[in-house]
Amino acid sequence: MCGIVGYIGHREAYSVIVQGLERLEYRGYDSAGIALYDGTNLNVSKTKGKVADLRSKLETEIPTIGSVGIGHTRWATHGVPNDVNSHPHFSNSGNLVIIHNGIIENYDSLRQELLQRDYKFTSDTDTEVLVNLIEDIKKNEDVKLGKAVQIALNQTIGAYAIAVFDKSKPDEIVVARLGSPLAIGVGKDEFFIASDATPFLEYTKKTVYLKDGEMAIVRRNKKLKVFKIEDNSIVVPYVEELQLNLEQIEKGGYDYFMLKEIYEQPQAIKDTFRGRMLVKEGIVKMAGVDDNLEKFKNARRILIIACGTSWHAGLVAEYIFEEFARVPVEVEYASEFRYRNPVIYEDDVIIAISQSGETADTMAAIKLAKKQGAFVFGVCNVVGSSISRITDAGAYTHAGPEIGVASTKAFTTQITILTLIALRLAQATGKMSNSVFRSYLQELDRIPSKVEEALKCNEKAELVASKYKDVSNALYLGRGYNFPVALEGALKLKEISYIHAEGYPAAEMKHGPIALIDDQMPVFVIAMKKGHYEKVVSNIEEIKARSGKIIAIVTKGDKEVKRLADHVIEIPETLEPLTPILATIPLQLLSYHIALMLGKNVDQPRNLAKSVTVE
Ligand code: AGP
């Protein structure tokens, strides 16, 4: 969701900020804006649309000189996406300017109070209320900007990452966070502010990630000052050395990040089990699990909480944990879990899955579970993310940055790490024999090259895409381990091509969805040779009898489904619990090609955000 970039130092702020906003485009947004201080005036330019629109507008609108400024990409919450509601927002005096990611929940009551004190509002945003509240406090209490921000934030309810600039004190920017990420890049006599570190990667690797409830004053040529919003107490900033490099966040010759990330999966999966899976020795080791092995072993049940694609990975894990470790598993949408007064036992183990590590619903669900005494284990991709910090222990997927809004490598690496955890637990509890355990390690080790082989279906996927790109609806069916893959396939199609698609367990078809089948309906069926193959073949027969179009994902060498289906895409054979990793590859490619052929923005689909940091 919204992206924040700021700069203070000796470079031209304009190019640092605009390029930084481009790097944050993946987060999802509908408008963009910038405030630059040229030494005398504080100039703001903003527009509905893309950063490219801002770039062309601002160059004719405001001077692009100056070495301090803040910029923003907005994902609308309060007020429609238009020029006026875009950030930055001025205070009434025109002295203060603010950018904000998050929601101020009590903005309406604050607004009413400010209206009584003759403040005027030009936008519908909660953000304009906040900047005027800060101004009001600064004026009435005669305090500096930092103090005014601190007092104001103690009066707000909600979530935020903000950056505030005061033209009467142009050598500093005040920033704060609660529930939305904020990173500060520490350069030589310069500071960068951003929602994540990608906007300043080429300038500095030294980064301070503000923690929830912290604020900072970044001052030209001075040391960084960090303190707690609650009581102003000083915090010693922890400067991390970033492990990211520029190559990882660039398209590297691909047309879209999504395609690059699909093709990165063999390597990403290898990186997920690197150092954790010792095949020859027959060992799985993961500090986060090993250090808490008793908790895992004694778990009454495992509760998995997540959203979207991560929830689908959780569903695959449910099958895997129950099969391998014989422990009961429940998988919950974090957004439902957090509000339904769930029964949580102290001996439950909660696994929270999140690529970004910033999803607001998952964060809230974790906080609830922790409050009720459960042990929470995080599975995140983004290192240093909020969820990785608030969980009791965890494991990173190490998939590298995922920039395409539609998750691809996040999904397959989440399944990989969850499989490793299940194997470790099964071994520790003796629920899996050593020979079976070893056969899984050997097969997992082969998975990256099998993914490589599965990716060779790209041309076929493109051909199938060209035949079905104009449909309005699609069905995805799978059973057992591959039922969640059907859900994930349908989500991928919906997200980037805007075609209505539904995923179902294949056997559920006859309880309703079969009514939808006619000669216009494409049905994508995952029909692996393992598991419930014969049953799925029967389902395919039922679709065929009703003239549905069948696109089947089959095991290499399959003959039976080939005879029935309109198109088949082959993937290599593997052990049944690992088939979701391979079966998902053609579905990712199909969605990619359909969206591309329809002329959609594959990486930044409408209305969607990469990290969903608001409810
Ligand atoms: C996946 O393609 C989606 N963009 C979305 O469903 C995503 O998986 C969901 O928002 C959860 O995100 P997280 O993994 O970062 O928590």
**Residue of minimum CA distance from atom 7 in ligand 1:** 308
pTM score, whole prediction: 0.85
Q: In the chain, which stretches have pLDDT less than 50?
A: none
Q: Is 518 left (phi over 0), alpha (psi -120 to 50) or beta?
A: beta
CA 245 – ligand 1 centroid, Å: 23
Which residue from 454, 571, 541, 496 is spatially nearest to 550, judged by alpha carbons? 541
Ligand 1 pocket list (CB less than 6 A): 307-310, 354-356, 359, 362, 405-407, 495, 608, 611-612
3-state secondary structure of 154: helix
**Residue of minimum CA distance from atom 10 in ligand 1:** 308
CA 358 – ligand 1 centroid, Å: 10
Which atom of ligand 1 has the smallest separation from the CA of 608? 4
3-state secondary structure of 212: coil
The first and second tokens of residue 518, run together, are 């006619």
User: How far, rounded to the nearest angstrom, does the alpha carbon of residue 229 sit from its chain's CA centroid?
Assistant: 27
Catalytic residues: 2, 610
Distance CA 175, CA 191 (A): 12
Which of 27, 180, 256, 307 for a ligand 1 pocket mutation test, highest count of atoms within 8 Å of Cβ? 307
Instruction: Please report the domains of the chain, with CATH numbers, ordered by start residue.
Output: 3-248 (3.60.20.10), 257-597 (3.40.50.10490)
Residue tagged 């309906």 (tokens): 521
Which residues make beta-bridge pairs with 186? Answer: 191
Residue tagged 């527009």 (tokens): 47
Contact 86, 127 (CB under 8 A): no
Which atom of ligand 1 has the smallest separation from the CA of 407? 2
- In this structure, the number of other CB atoms found within 10 A of the CB of residue 111 comes to 19
Distance CA 579, CA 485 (A): 9
Which of 612, 613, 615 for a ligand 1 pocket mutation test, highest count of atoms within 8 Å of Cβ? 612
| Kind plus residue range of the DSSP H or E element containing 56 | helix 51-61
Which atom of ligand 1 has the smallest separation from the CA of 405? 4
CA 361 – ligand 1 centroid, Å: 11
CA 288 – ligand 1 centroid, Å: 23
pLDDT value of position 250: 85
CA 601 – ligand 1 centroid, Å: 17
Which atom of ligand 1 has the smallest separation from the CA of 362? 16
Counted residue by residue, the chain has a size of 615
pLDDT value of position 48: 93
Which of 391, 407, 413 for a ligand 1 pocket mutation test, highest count of atoms within 8 Å of Cβ? 407
Beta strand 522-527 with 473-478: parallel, antiparallel or unpaired?
parallel
Which of 311, 355, 380 for a ligand 1 pocket mutation test, highest count of atoms within 8 Å of Cβ? 355
The first and second tokens of residue 43, run together, are 């100039």
Please list, in sequence order, all residues whose beta carbon lies within 8 angstroms of the beta carbon of residue 202, skipping any fewer than 6 positions away. 246
pLDDT value of position 1: 72
Which residue from 327, 337, 322, 331 is spatially nearest to 300, judged by alpha carbons? 327
**Residue of minimum CA distance from atom 9 in ligand 1:** 308
Question: What number of H helices and E strands is found in the chain?
Answer: 20, 27
Distance CA 575, CA 112 (A): 62
Contact 451, 273 (CB under 8 A): no
AA letter at 543: I
- In this structure, the number of other CB atoms found within 10 A of the CB of residue 113 comes to 13
CA 137 – ligand 1 centroid, Å: 39
Q: What is the 3-state secondary structure (H, E, C) of 324-383?
A: HHCCCEEEEEHHHHCCCCCCCCCCEEEEEEECCCCCHHHHHHHHHHHHCCCEEEEEECCC
Percent of residues in the chain assigned helix, strand, coil, to nearest 5: 40, 25, 35
pLDDT value of position 486: 98
Q: Buried b / exposed e across 219-247, counting CB within 10 Å, b at 16+?
A: bbeeeebbbebeeeeebebeebebebeee
The first and second tokens of residue 500, run together, are 């209505």
Which atom of ligand 1 has the smallest separation from the CA of 495? 2
**Residue of minimum CA distance from atom 16 in ligand 1:** 354
Which atom of ligand 1 has the smallest separation from the CA of 387? 16
CA 280 – ligand 1 centroid, Å: 35
pLDDT of 263-289, one tens digit each? Answer: 999 999 999 999 999 999 999 999 999
